[in-house]
């Protein structure tokens, strides 16, 4: 990569990381915190609160992506970060679960993911794009690992309100980083025509990626409705959950990085892609039988993070390579919309199943969803390897 590509990749990864750290700090402690929060004794409302930001993201990602195609990536990203920060501050002051859900909804209105990933694609050549997406994905994974250690400590020190306040401050810091470190992408040549939106929406290969990210994030959010209480019931206090999460996340990187290098250099993208989905299915099946063994849960979570992090690198890169050049923002918008729908539905479905059927039903549902995803992914055609941008 050129110096400019490395700089853009590092800066955009950091912006993603600052935003996602705030979101991840909530996951390890929220389900337990909610039990003592007004209205938080209802598992369904807890699931809605976890997934609510995904619902508004689902409504706005396409609009943000298309707006970034028209008016530029940076103005759209700044607007989204300001809205996200406002939602974080509202959630920090929430007196009950309903106001908290409102804050999460407002957070979701800062739907910048499509614009940021489209900007990353604009600033890198195609042969290096998976590396940049992997940088972003790895940074997200590192932020998740950091949140696993920091969340219980922060929760004990400042409470959930303090964590939401920190989330808003991190979003504001990301705006400063965007202004100072990320270059403006070059404009497209005049002869590159913008295709109609339906061509993006109904593109067969793009649709496979969109269903994949929907499935991935639905499985992840549903799983986090039941995993923290599962560890507590297995005898591991909330403050000690990082001892399971952190080694699992860090070990997953040791497997993920060589897998990405192998997929790119040996043109084995599709086999690695399918193996990653298989890992996600295996994990969900294994969690059904792991309720009494903390260490088995830790091993399964490590395998989950391997599959999850691989998909976080491979799928956005494929979207940017498959999308028409003048509609990368729109394609990323559709992609991130289906991701957000997955987050929202994962929280609701996971909460409903946990409340009415039990935790095993949540994992069983994820197995079924992952199997359908695997069947569709088996029919995908990877893009031809090119050396142009």
Q: What confidence tens digit (pLDDT) does each residue in 286-316 have? A: 888 766 678 888 888 889 888 888 888 788 8
> Predicted confidence band at 388 (pLDDT cuts at 50, 70, 90)?
very low
Cα maximum dimension of the chain? 63
Residue 340: predicted pLDDT = 75
User: In the chain, pLDDT over 70 holds for what percent of residues?
Assistant: 92
Phi then psi for 76, rounded to 5 degrees? -70, -40
Residue 360: predicted pLDDT = 85
Residue 90: predicted pLDDT = 92
Q: What is the DSSP string of 198-223?
A: HHHHT-HHHHHHHHHHHHHHHHHHHH
Q: What confidence tens digit (pLDDT) does each residue in 18-47 have? A: 888 877 788 777 777 777 778 777 778 877
Cβ atoms 370, 275 nearer than 8 A: no
Residue 223: predicted pLDDT = 86
Residue 111: predicted pLDDT = 79
pTM: 0.72
Q: What confidence tens digit (pLDDT) does each residue in 222-263 have? A: 888 888 887 887 778 777 777 887 788 788 878 877 887 787
Q: What confidence tens digit (pLDDT) does each residue in 58-83 have? A: 788 788 888 887 888 889 999 999 99
Q: What confidence tens digit (pLDDT) does each residue in 189-213 have? A: 555 566 777 777 787 888 888 999 9
Residue 291: predicted pLDDT = 60
Of 123, 142, 111, the residue nearest 181 (C-alpha): 123
The region that residue 74 occupies, defined by phi over 0 for left and psi between -120 and 50 for alpha, beta otherwise, is alpha
Domains, the chain, in order of start with CATH, read 3-183+197-377 (1.20.1250.20)
> Predicted confidence band at 389 (pLDDT cuts at 50, 70, 90)?
very low
What does the mean pLDDT of the chain come to? Answer: 82
């Amino acid at each position: 990569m050129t110096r400019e590509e490395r700089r853009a990749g590092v800066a955009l990864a950091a912006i993603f990381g600052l935003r996602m750290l705030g979101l991840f700090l909530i996951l390890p402690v929220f389900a337990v915190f909610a039990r003592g929060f007004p209205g938080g004794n209802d598992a369904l409302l807890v699931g809605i609160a976890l997934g609510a930001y995904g619902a508004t993201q689902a409504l706005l990602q396409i609009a943000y992506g298309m707006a970034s195609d028209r008016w530029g990536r940076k103005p759209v990203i700044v607007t989204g970060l300001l809205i996200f920060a406002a939602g974080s501050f509202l959630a920090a002051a929430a007196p009950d679960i309903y106001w908290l859900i409102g804050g999460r909804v407002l957070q979701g209105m800062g739907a910048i993911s499509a614009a940021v990933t489209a900007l990353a694609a604009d600033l890198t050549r195609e042969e290096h794009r998976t590396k940049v997406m992997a940088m972003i994905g790895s940074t997200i994974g590192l932020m998740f690992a950091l949140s696993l250690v920091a969340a219980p400590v922060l929760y004990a020190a400042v409470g959930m309100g303090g964590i939401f306040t920190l989330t808003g401050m991190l979003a504001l810091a990301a705006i400063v980083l965007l202004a100072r470190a990320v270059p403006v992408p070059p404009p497209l040549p005049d002869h590159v025509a913008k295709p109609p939106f339906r061509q993006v929406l109904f593109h067969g290969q793009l649709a496979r990626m969109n269903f994949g990210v929907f499935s991935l994030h639905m499985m992840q959010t549903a799983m986090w409705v039941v995993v923290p209480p599962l560890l507590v019931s297995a005898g591991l206090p909330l403050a000690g959950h990082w001892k399971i999460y952190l080694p699992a996340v860090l070990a997953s990187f040791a497997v993920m990085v060589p897998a990405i290098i192998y997929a790119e250099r040996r043109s084995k993208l599709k086999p690695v892609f399918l193996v990653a989905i298989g890992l996600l299915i295996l994990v969900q099946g294994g969690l059904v039988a792991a309720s009494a063994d903390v260490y088995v849960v830790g091993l399964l979570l490590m395998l989950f993070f391997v599959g999850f992090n691989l998909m976080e690198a491979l799928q956005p890169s494929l979207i940017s390579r498959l999308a028409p050049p003048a509609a990368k923002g729109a394609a990323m918008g559709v992609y991130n919309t289906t991701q957000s729908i997955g987050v929202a539905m994962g929280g609701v479905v996971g909460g409903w199943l946990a409340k009415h059927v039990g935790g095993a039903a949540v994992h069983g549902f994820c197995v079924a969803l992952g199997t359908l995803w695997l069947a569709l992914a088996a029919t995908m055609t990877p893009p031809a390897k090119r050396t142009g941008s």
